[in-house]
Amino acid sequence: MDIFQANDIVKEYAGHVALSSVSISVKEASIFGLLGPNGAGKTTLIRIINQITAPDSGELFFEGRPVKADDIYQIGYLPEERGLYKKMKVGEQALYLAQLKGMSKNDALKSLKYWFEKFEIQAWWGKKVEELSKGMAQKVQFITTVIHQPKLLIFDEPFSGFDPINTNLLKNEILELKKKGTTIIFSTHNMSSVEEICDHIALINQSKKILDGQIDQVREQFKTNTFEIVYRGEVPNLQYHLGSHFNLLEHDESSLLKQMKVQFLNNQSNNELLKILMNQFEIVSFKELIPSMNDVFIHVVEQNNREIKQ
Amino acid sequence: MNKSFLILKREYLTRVKKKSFIIMTLLVPVMMAALTILPTYLAMMDDKEERTIAVFDPTGLILNRLESNEFTKFHYIPEQEFQKLSKNFSSDNYYALLHIPANILTTNRAEMISDKQVTFDIKNLVTRRIENIIEGEKRKQVIDETGVPDLEKRLSATKTDITVETIKLGDKGEAVKSSTEIAMAIGYAAGFLIYMFVFIYGTMVMRGVMEEKSSRIVEVIISSVKPFQLLFGKIVGIGLVGLTQIAIWIVLGIAIVTGLTAFVGQEATEAAAQAQNIMTNPAMGQMAANTPEAQNKVIEIIGMIGNLNIPLIIFALFFYFIGGFILYASLMGAIGSAVDSDEDAQQMMLPVTMPLIFSIIILFAVAKNPEGPLAFWASMIPLTSPVTMMVRIPFGVPAWEIILSMAILIATIFGTIWIAGKIYRTGILMYGKKVNLKEIVKWLFYKN
């Protein structure tokens, strides 16, 4: 089931189009990657989901029905640029933010105790935020985002400012939240983390959605039928053996294990290539090259920008 | 509105719990009291010191006519001792040496010799006494020369003290004794109080909004509450901080003044008989009250204060206090949301605070002529009315003017809050953009 759906969202700011007819749907208990270059309109879309701003036109659905004002209590939001009241004590502040999200004081205290213990930061309760390091403040902020057990979480660049250990901790927390049934919208420029944790992505460029789908399918969609073969042996004239159906892109014979990249020109099957190669040398590995999200991102955005320019 | 209350509570508590707030709130009344009462008290303490002044008077005019009092004694010395002392004043017996020259009637000069700086009070006391004696002596000479019988008595009878009583006719035509001075004093005080309160706490709202914007916490908060609720909670919370401070100041002020005057007053009663010549000081009303004449005066003043419309003044004070604050605080909040830096804030604040400053500039003109056109219009225009109307009310203002002024203020507040809310909503999410007035006007027309 889709926990959140946006249809044909349009938002303009004084002549500047921030979002033009963007639609997304987010499946329950999945991680949805919202991608796009800087200034593409991601933040605007996130603000619309959060009901910080309203769209000029378009429809929004939460749990299958049109959004209500109360739905924001089911949403947790960790903005990219984040901060807390510097002069306020950590515990007081976390309690305040939890209450603003509609929790009762007792529930909030209980829940905060659980999270502070989990992150081993009980000692910070009475400290002022200005005494914390950036990473420490980020942890507190993460807690205040998830404290009210929202059904939908929105993380905007959640890993920025974290060291590798805390990044890992946070990643595991996010995956655990997903396991418990929480839906997560995840906006980032870090494509390797997208590949790692996202189930579904939407790519926005220059206020339009230009790509959408299951992450595996998206990558599949952009594969170029290229295979990487590692082998042992000698082949004097490789392209001759490959014939006209296969194109030799790269050939590296410098080390003991030689490597080549071959592109299928027609709809050949893998086995046909293997048949040819098997006769020439010993195959060590054979794998299809599926483009990384990073490659897909760059390829799609650059192509889109060229199209817009023309 | 439950969320607004949470915000209000935070805004209020974080500020009230601040050390600087507690110190300011407690210290200001203590300091004010110390500044007004302590010098008087200390001056009186000082005067308890017993001093003897040696007097050498070859003219014989002053001789035995300078009366000693409890603390200041006069001791007449012969020429021989005077010669010795005037060359080398080193005496444990005498505080100073007063020399009345033979030609004092023509020169009007006497001298006081001491090895220390003669105190102001002593100098004053001696000067006044000698003045009286010499003046009397000259007068006697003139009267003796004219030879008119009973001239002395007849001249004394011409001495007059005129008091112009201002009488205001009440609603039912009854005469109400009023005092321009008292109305003025109350008007000034109330006007200044409103000005200070609006300025300090309005700026505090602006700073609060800027803090939330620059720390980016605002984005998290407005994902749980409406921007308007946040602004509303902030304004009301900070307004209550201000009211708390003023309430504490009033209570502490009254407590300190009553406590200290009671203490000082007791001392004063004992000293009163002797201390009549000490410079009268307004803070020593208690002391002055010991003489029947002054007592009457105090009763009269209290009566005149009672004749002012106290409930109206208090109601108006609170009304314009709160109204003026909300008006300016919402504008300042809008400014805080629109700017990124302190310099920009200063620049944008100027046009907004201009009317407020203007109302202080015209304060004296209004108090001088509370019925004039300047006073009338300034008390109708909502940006100046909180200060100006407050200055006018102790003088008595027709009911319709007060009602109209209040109605205009309320209507303007609604309009301003609406505008400020729109600017605020857009401004808090706008970063890195240098805003100008044109840009802000554009924001007013953004759809939610």
* Rounded Cα–Cα distance for residues B361 and B372 (Å): 16
Q: Are residues A207 and A229 in the same domain?
A: no
Which residues on chain B are in Cβ contact (under 8 Å) with A140?
none
Q: Are residues B63 and B133 in the same domain?
A: yes
Q: For residues B132-138, give the mean pLDDT.
A: 85
Q: For residues A110-127, give the mean pLDDT.
A: 91
Query: Is B281 a residue whose pLDDT tops 80?
Result: no
* pLDDT band at residue B3 using 50, 70 and 90 as cut-offs: confident
Q: Is B300 or B173 the better-scoring residue by pLDDT? A: B300
Contact A85 B221 (CB under 8 A): no
Which residues on chain A are in Cβ contact (under 8 Å) with B212?
85
Q: For residues B396-424, give the mean pLDDT.
A: 92
Q: What is the pLDDT at residue B287?
A: 43
% of chain B at pLDDT higher than 90: 24
* A47, A71, A85: best to mutate for the B interface, most B CBs within 10 A: A85
Q: Are residues B54 and B21 in the same domain?
A: no
Q: Is residue A219 a part of any domain in this protein?
A: no
* pLDDT band at residue B280 using 50, 70 and 90 as cut-offs: very low
Q: Are residues A25 and A121 in the same domain?
A: yes
Domain of residue A159, residue span: 2-214
In this structure, of A66-70, A105-109, B58-62, B111-115, the range with the lowest mean pLDDT score is B58-62
Task: Name the DSSP letter for residue A293.
Answer: H
Both tokens of residue B346?
């200063």
Q: Are residues A99 and A138 in the same domain?
A: yes
Coil, helix or strand for B120? helix
Nearest to A83 among B7, B14, B215 (CB): B215
Q: Are residues A71 and A207 in the same domain?
A: yes
Q: Are residues A149 and A53 in the same domain?
A: yes
* Rounded Cα–Cα distance for residues A122 and A91 (Å): 9
Quick one: closest CA in B to A78, which residue?
A: B220
* pLDDT band at residue B284 using 50, 70 and 90 as cut-offs: very low
Query: Is A61 a residue whose pLDDT tops 50?
Result: yes
* pLDDT band at residue A144 using 50, 70 and 90 as cut-offs: very high
* pLDDT band at residue A174 using 50, 70 and 90 as cut-offs: very high
In this structure, of A149-153, A209-213, B151-155, the range with the lowest mean pLDDT score is B151-155
Q: What is the pLDDT at residue B171?
A: 60
Name the burial class of residue B94, with classes exposed (0-12), middle (13-18) and buried (19+) by CB atoms within 10 angstroms of its CB: buried
Q: Which amino acid is at A124?
A: W
CB A81 within 8 A of CB A117: no
Q: Is residue B172 a part of any domain in this protein?
A: no
Indicate the pTM of the whole model: 0.73
Contact B446 A13 (CB under 8 A): yes
Quick one: closest CA in B to A148, which residue?
A: B224
Q: Is residue A127 a part of any domain in this protein?
A: yes
* Domain CATH code at residue B105: 3.40.190.10
Tell which of B155, B187, B222 closes a domain.
Answer: B155
Coil, helix or strand for A282? strand
Q: Which amino acid is at A41?
A: G
Q: Which amino acid is at B92?
A: D
* Rounded Cα–Cα distance for residues A158 and B264 (Å): 67
Q: In this predicted complex, what is the ipTM?
A: 0.79
CB A98 within 8 A of CB A145: no
Which residues on chain A are in Cβ contact (under 8 Å) with B442?
14
Q: For residues A101-108, give the mean pLDDT.
A: 91
% of chain A at pLDDT higher than 90: 38
* pLDDT band at residue B273 using 50, 70 and 90 as cut-offs: very low
Q: For residues B39-61, give the mean pLDDT.
A: 75
Q: For residues B186-191, give the mean pLDDT.
A: 86
Q: Are residues A17 and A160 in the same domain?
A: yes
Q: Are residues B142 and B211 in the same domain?
A: no
Q: Is residue B278 a part of any domain in this protein?
A: yes
Q: Is residue B358 a part of any domain in this protein?
A: yes
Q: Is residue B204 a part of any domain in this protein?
A: yes
* Domain CATH code at residue A135: 3.40.50.300
Query: Is A219 a residue whose pLDDT tops 60?
Result: yes
Coil, helix or strand for B186? helix
Name the domain count of chain A: 2
Q: Are residues B325 and B419 in the same domain?
A: yes
Domain of residue B55, residue span: 50-155
Q: Are residues B209 and B150 in the same domain?
A: no
Q: Is residue B183 a part of any domain in this protein?
A: yes
Q: Are residues A76 and A150 in the same domain?
A: yes
Q: What count of Cα atoms within 13 Å lies in the side-chain half-sphere of residue B89?
A: 16
Q: For residues B218-246, give the mean pLDDT.
A: 90
Nearest to A97 among B14, B219, B220 (CB): B220
Q: For residues B108-122, give the mean pLDDT.
A: 83
B270 touches chain A (CB under 8 A): no
Q: For residues B98-126, give the mean pLDDT.
A: 84
Most confident option among A82-96, B105-119, B160-174, B265-279: A82-96
Q: Are residues A191 and A271 in the same domain?
A: no
* pLDDT band at residue B318 using 50, 70 and 90 as cut-offs: confident
Q: Is residue B15 a part of any domain in this protein?
A: yes
Q: Are residues A157 and A232 in the same domain?
A: no
Q: Are residues B394 and B422 in the same domain?
A: yes
* pLDDT band at residue B303 using 50, 70 and 90 as cut-offs: low
Q: What is the pLDDT at residue B435?
A: 73
Q: Are residues B224 and B368 in the same domain?
A: yes
At A212, give phi and psi (nearest 5°). Answer: -160, 140
Q: Are residues B100 and B147 in the same domain?
A: yes
Mean residue pLDDT across chain A: 88
Cβ partners under 8 Å of residue B154, min gap 6: B148
Helix or strand run (H / E) with residue A154: strand A152-156
Q: What is the pLDDT at residue B169?
A: 67
Q: Are residues B148 and B200 in the same domain?
A: no
pLDDT, one tens digit per residue, over B323-373 is 999 999 999 999 999 888 888 888 888 888 999 999 999 988 888 888 889
Nearest to B222 among A52, A73, A141 (CB): A52
Query: Is B105 a residue whose pLDDT tops 60?
Result: yes
Q: What is the pLDDT at residue B172?
A: 61
Beta partners for A12?
A17
Q: Are residues B118 and B203 in the same domain?
A: no
Catalogue the long-range contacts made by A119-127 (C-beta closer than 8 Å, 24 or more residues apart). A119/A143, A119/A169, A124/A90, A124/A91, A125/A89, A125/A90, A125/A91, A126/A89, A126/A90, A126/A91, A127/A89, A127/A90
* Rounded Cα–Cα distance for residues A99 and B133 (Å): 81
Q: Are residues A136 and A167 in the same domain?
A: yes
B156 touches chain A (CB under 8 A): no
Q: Is residue B147 a part of any domain in this protein?
A: yes
Query: Is A150 a residue whose pLDDT tops 60?
Result: yes
Cβ partners under 8 Å of residue B142, min gap 6: none
Both tokens of residue B20?
């600087």
Q: In angstroms, what CA-CA distances link A113 with A91, A147, B58?
A: 10, 10, 95
Beta partners for A230?
A259, A285
Q: Are residues B300 and B365 in the same domain?
A: yes
Q: Is residue B424 a part of any domain in this protein?
A: yes
* Domain CATH code at residue A235: 3.30.70
Q: For residues A230-241, give the mean pLDDT.
A: 81
Contact A73 B224 (CB under 8 A): yes
Contact A100 B447 (CB under 8 A): no
Name the domain count of chain B: 2
* pLDDT band at residue B8 using 50, 70 and 90 as cut-offs: very high
Query: Is B167 a residue whose pLDDT tops 60?
Result: yes
CA B302 from chain centre, in angstroms, equals: 18
Mean residue pLDDT across chain B: 81
Contact A86 B14 (CB under 8 A): no
pLDDT, one tens digit per residue, over B246-263 is 888 878 877 876 776 676
Q: Which amino acid is at B36?
A: T
> Would residue A207 be called left, alpha or beta, if left means φ above 0 and alpha means ψ between -120 and 50 degrees?
left
Angle between helices B310-338 and B180-214 (to 10 degrees): 30
* pLDDT band at residue A201 using 50, 70 and 90 as cut-offs: very high
* pLDDT band at residue B91 using 50, 70 and 90 as cut-offs: low
Q: For residues A191-215, give the mean pLDDT.
A: 90
* Rounded Cα–Cα distance for residues A255 and A232 (Å): 10
Q: What is the 3 state secondary structure string of A177-212?
A: HHHCCCEEEEECCCHHHHHHHCCEEEEEECCEEEEE
* Rounded Cα–Cα distance for residues B350 and B420 (Å): 16
- Strand A31-35 vs strand A75-78: parallel, antiparallel, or unpaired? unpaired
Q: Are residues A207 and A256 in the same domain?
A: no
Q: In what side-by-side order are the strands of the sheet with A246-252? A: A246-252, A258-264, A226-232, A282-288
Q: Are residues B56 and B24 in the same domain?
A: no
Q: Is residue A268 a part of any domain in this protein?
A: yes
Contact B447 A72 (CB under 8 A): no
CB A205 within 8 A of CB A37: yes
Q: What is the pLDDT at residue B44?
A: 65
Q: Are residues A248 and A172 in the same domain?
A: no
Name the burial class of residue A58, with classes exposed (0-12), middle (13-18) and buried (19+) by CB atoms within 10 angstroms of its CB: middle
Q: What is the pLDDT at residue B286?
A: 43
Query: Is B283 a residue whose pLDDT tops 60?
Result: no
